[in-house]
Structure 1
Amino acid sequence: MLRFGNMTKAVAVAASLMALPTLAAAEIFKGETAGVGDPVHTMFVAFANQAGKGDVEIQVNAGQTLTKSMLKGGKGEIAFFSTVPSLVNLMSGQKRMYEKVEGAPEFAKNLRSIVGFKAGAYHPVTLSGSGIEGWGDLKGKTIFTGPPAGSASATSEALIKIITGYEAGKDYTAVRLSWGEGYTALADGKIDMMVRPAEIGSANIERFGLSGEFRVLSIPTDKVADEQMQALFGRPGRGVMSFDGGVYKGQLTGGDITALGFTQFIGTHAGVSDDVVYEATRSFWENIEEVHNTAFFLKEVTKESAFTSINVPLHAGALRYYDEAGFDVPADLR
């Protein structure tokens, strides 16, 4: 009888433990974004932090190439990722970096979106003393245009060609490195110019004015209306924008700077639970004031800008929240 009693107690204790939620049972979702200092990293971390308040734990793997992260998202290998709208068309059309990826168009169909945002502008940065004071001075120079596998390098080189007619590898040396290596190379004088997508007022750009002077080249007025430039502005996730050059200490270009603006979005895939994405989205927007306090450029993440440049359908969980909260959801995102 004693042994039977102990067994009964043991079964009762085991049953009670099974009924309790445990940390081990909580799912941790993989997420990928760009490196520290990139606006998409800032936004993604802000999203992950707020999602955590809704009991959606996202493990952020930073310093990743967005082209690869979106592919992994389409394959269902990660649950959340940062990406660029222009990459969606490349994946669905199996072009450029996705040309040899078997099944790329099918993976693209699996992509879903959560929230879009205005990320910043392409900054063509050159230090004083580089011999570059205008676009015509780029001939024969060494220019960092972006990472080897990303889309930014192709965009930077297209921008230079439209303005100057100069071709990478022929009229100037295009250097492709990681973002961090690009900053270091410019600071060390190993390159003459860096073209860097960054938020307006970026601390990484500002640092070049803390110990000296630098220039951010502005797109010439007569080039803005150029047919090729308008085509570049019209690509998904792109557009013309201007900002006050005085936002940066030590920046030598006076007045407003005309630049190629860019937008990005946080994505997921169709296989992630509706409830998970709903809770992550709800928690993000219910704590939007805290998001706004994270960085100056995030103040533009609002109810009106939530779907900026998104070109894949919203995840069903995100859509459920937006409908409940009264957001004006574009029909093509449903």
Structure 2
Amino acid sequence: MRKLEMTASLLAACVFAVSAHAQVNLTAETTSPVSVPGQAVLTLGEVASAAGIADIQVATGQTLTNSVQNVAEGKTDIAAMPFLMTFLLSKGAGPYASLGEEKGAELASNLSVLYTYRLGTWGLLAYDSKNFDGWNAIEGATIYNGPPRGAALNVARALVKLSTGLDEGEDYTGIQVNWGQAVKTITDGSADASVLPLNFPDGRITQALASGAITVWSMPKDKYESEATKKYINAPGTIGVTAPKNGLFGDEVSVVSEDDTFRGIGVVGGEIVQKDMDFELAKALTKAFLDNIDVYEAKTPFMKTIYLGETDPSLTGLCSAVPVKYHPGAIAAWEEAGYTIPDCAKP
């Protein structure tokens, strides 16, 4: 009888533990649902809930520059993060200049990574009705190039500079609005063209096609192969991306390139948490991702092209000058699943 009582008590304790684990409530921030980081964080919320790990309240349409700082300060549990932002934060530079280097480095040291992906590849696009002549038409034009603060705006300005030598404010006018208004800004005619992060195919373009045919311009081949661009794509969290242009954005979108290849500047990042997140929780969240990569890839066609499940630093952007590493719990999940995590990406 006592043995039965003990067994019943153990079962009750296990049920209580699972129930308590499922009651964990977390917050997360990401960009619009039609973007890679939007889909990634929303899907993490879905698979974490299905696995009984946590209920994640996701705020979409956020500027990730702010989201990164919120996680570092403990105001948010999870955020999508371009790794360029962690570098800038660690230096107290760019949008984090007001923090100063010491405070920025302290905040950056609070961050850890669960898993990674490519957020987007920057390109130039315009409605055919605008009769926009690609890179040759940038000078004097009005260009929508992302939110008011953040990695996207920095990369968009850099892509124009590398492709044309032109600077915003001096040679062309930039328009910045938050991601939640991106499609509206593309379609309302307030800009002549847009320089934005794109995916293959791209969710924003798919929505914007309802207002007319669109053309996307590849980065000019000679500019892509220049020493200046090679140096830029070796910057923290930045990579060069090439892909066959035919059908890249769907049959209704024209792609202009000197050959059959689309070229652009890509940004890589991933899901971040505080480094002091509970080991088992970080492990469970990462395992939920690894067990459900097929669920992520089934969400939209572009999710199959963003390097999910990769650990090679040339695709993840980790190591080198990127100051963040994988969370120890995440490392345990990756290694138990049979992946190899480079030593340079371990704390």
Q: How many pairs are equivalent?
A: 318
Quote the residue 1:79 is aligned against. Answer: 77
2:117 is matched by which residue type in structure 1? Answer: F
Bigger drift between 139-148 and 288-297 goes to 288-297
Deviation at 1:242?
A: 2.5
Structure 1 residues 191 and 57, CA gap change in structure 2 (3 angstroms): same
Bigger drift between 250-259 and 38-47 goes to 250-259
Quote the residue 2:297 is aligned against. Answer: 292
Bigger drift between 113-122 and 139-148 goes to 113-122
Structure 1 residues 228 and 26, CA gap change in structure 2 (3 angstroms): same
Structure 1 residues 85 and 220, CA gap change in structure 2 (3 angstroms): same
Deviation at 1:179?
A: 2.4
Bigger drift between 319-328 and 60-69 goes to 319-328
1:45 is matched by which residue type in structure 2? Answer: L
Residue 250 (structure 2) pairs with residue 253 (structure 1): no
Match of 2:23 among 22, 26, 32: 26
Secondary structure at the aligned position of 1:240 is classed as strand
Bigger drift between 58-67 and 211-220 goes to 211-220
CA distance in 1, matches of 2:268, 2:309: 16
Deviation at 1:24?
A: 11
Quote the residue 1:322 is aligned against. Answer: 334
Quote the residue 1:241 is aligned against. Answer: 241
Structure 1 residues 187 and 302, CA gap change in structure 2 (3 angstroms): closer
Secondary structure at the aligned position of 1:252 is classed as strand
Match of 2:317 among 309, 316, 323: 309
Q: Are the counterparts in 1 of residues 114 and 286 from structure 2 also a CA contact under 8 Å?
A: yes
Quote the residue 1:267 is aligned against. Answer: 272
Quote the residue 1:227 is aligned against. Answer: 227
Secondary structure at the aligned position of 1:246 is classed as coil
Superposition RMSD in Å: 2.3
Q: TM-score, normalised by structure 1?
A: 0.88
Q: Deviations over 1:302-323 (max 9, x none)?
A: 5444761134111111112222
Bigger drift between 25-34 and 145-154 goes to 25-34
Structure 1 residues 333 and 169, CA gap change in structure 2 (3 angstroms): same
Secondary structure at the aligned position of 1:63 is classed as coil
Q: Deviations over 1:191-218 (max 9, x none)?
A: 1011111321013213344453221111
Unaligned residue ranges in structure 2 (runs of 5+): 1-11
Describe how 1:86-101 pairs up with structure 2 within 5 A. 86-101=84-99
Q: Which has the larger radius of gyration?
A: 1
Q: Are the counterparts in 2 of residues 168 and 174 from structure 1 also a CA contact under 8 Å?
A: yes
Q: Deviations over 1:256-288 (max 9, x none)?
A: 321112222111011211111111111221222
CA distance in 1, matches of 2:180, 2:88: 26
Residue 164 (structure 2) pairs with residue 164 (structure 1): yes
Q: Deviations over 1:23-43 (max 9, x none)?
A: 799220111111221111111
Q: TM-score, normalised by structure 2?
A: 0.84
Quote the residue 1:197 is aligned against. Answer: 197
1:333 is matched by which residue type in structure 2? Answer: A
Q: Are the counterparts in 2 of residues 119 and 297 from structure 1 also a CA contact under 8 Å?
A: no
Percent of matched pairs sharing the same residue? 25
1:324 is matched by which residue type in structure 2? Answer: E
Secondary structure at the aligned position of 2:262 is classed as strand
Structure 1 residues 265 and 101, CA gap change in structure 2 (3 angstroms): same
Structure 1 residues 46 and 224, CA gap change in structure 2 (3 angstroms): same
Quote the residue 1:283 is aligned against. Answer: 288
CA distance in 1, matches of 2:236, 2:41: 20
Quote the residue 1:187 is aligned against. Answer: 187
CA distance in 2, matches of 1:302, 1:129: 36
Structure 1 residues 175 and 302, CA gap change in structure 2 (3 angstroms): closer
Structure 1 residues 249 and 59, CA gap change in structure 2 (3 angstroms): same
Secondary structure at the aligned position of 2:329 is classed as helix
Residue 120 (structure 2) pairs with residue 120 (structure 1): yes
Bigger drift between 57-66 and 235-244 goes to 235-244
Bigger drift between 299-308 and 204-213 goes to 299-308
Unaligned residue ranges in structure 1 (runs of 5+): 1-15
Q: Deviations over 1:151-178 (max 9, x none)?
A: 2112111211121111111111111112
Q: Deviations over 1:27-78 (max 9, x none)?
A: 2011111122111111111122212214222211111111111111111221
Residue 43 (structure 2) pairs with residue 43 (structure 1): no
